[in-house]
A = this chain, B = another copy of it.
């Protein structure tokens, strides 16, 4: 916000820039609210109907698409979560025999993680239920509307990813 706009806002006078900024803030709050509500609903259904959690589901979904398995580092970058996080979730899934860790031949540092037959079965049941839950929750969104929404979300995601990338690479910016 510019100095002039800020002073205007402090005086209760609105400017086009300040209005647009408030509107974007409201949009972000709506986005956050909708996402949290959907997540809470899905979490509750996973918990009560399948005795599992969304993070476990995410890990299993990534592995389902990789029949040969994934390295721990591939898994954490696919899910965009920290390495240590994946370690914990994988530990628990291994202890329930839903996935297996196998060492990599050429590289004794690395581990490959793969779904077991039991893990595949459980995931497929979970995934079918999950799709139907989402279908119900998003039923009120029309096809054209969904496409437009998707494009806007892609732009927002790209902007956030670009900013984080730039920050991580040490770029310095006056308003960071």
Task: Please indicate the chain B residues that have their CB under 8 angstroms from the CB of A1 in the complex.
Answer: 128, 131-132, 135
Among candidates B22, B37, B134, B175, residue contacting A24 with C-beta atoms closer than 8 Å: B134
Instruction: Determine whether A137 belongs to the interface, using a CB cutoff of 8 Å to chain B.
Output: yes
Task: Please indicate the chain B residues that have their CB under 8 angstroms from the CB of A27 in the complex.
Answer: 138, 141, 146, 149-150
Interface residue tally on A, bucketed by range: 35 or more
Docked-complex contact A137 and B153, CB < 8 angstroms: no
Instruction: Determine whether A36 belongs to the interface, using a CB cutoff of 8 Å to chain B.
Output: yes
- Determine chain A's interface SS by DSSP, over half rule: helix
Among candidates B31, B49, B175, residue contacting A153 with C-beta atoms closer than 8 Å: B31
Instruction: Determine whether A157 belongs to the interface, using a CB cutoff of 8 Å to chain B.
Output: yes
Given the interface contacts A37-B160, A37-B161, A45-B176, does A24 sit within 8 Å of B155 by beta carbon?
no
Interface residues of A in 62-117 (CB under 8 A from B): 80
Q: Once bound together, how far apart are the Cα atoms of A161 and B30, in whole Å?
A: 13
Docked-complex contact A30 and B155, CB < 8 angstroms: no
Among candidates B32, B38, B128, residue contacting A160 with C-beta atoms closer than 8 Å: B38
Given the interface contacts A1-B132, A41-B163, A163-B41, does A35 sit within 8 Å of B24 by beta carbon?
no
Docked-complex contact A137 and B164, CB < 8 angstroms: no
Task: Please indicate the chain B residues that have their CB under 8 angstroms from the CB of A138 in the complex.
Answer: 24, 27-28, 156, 159
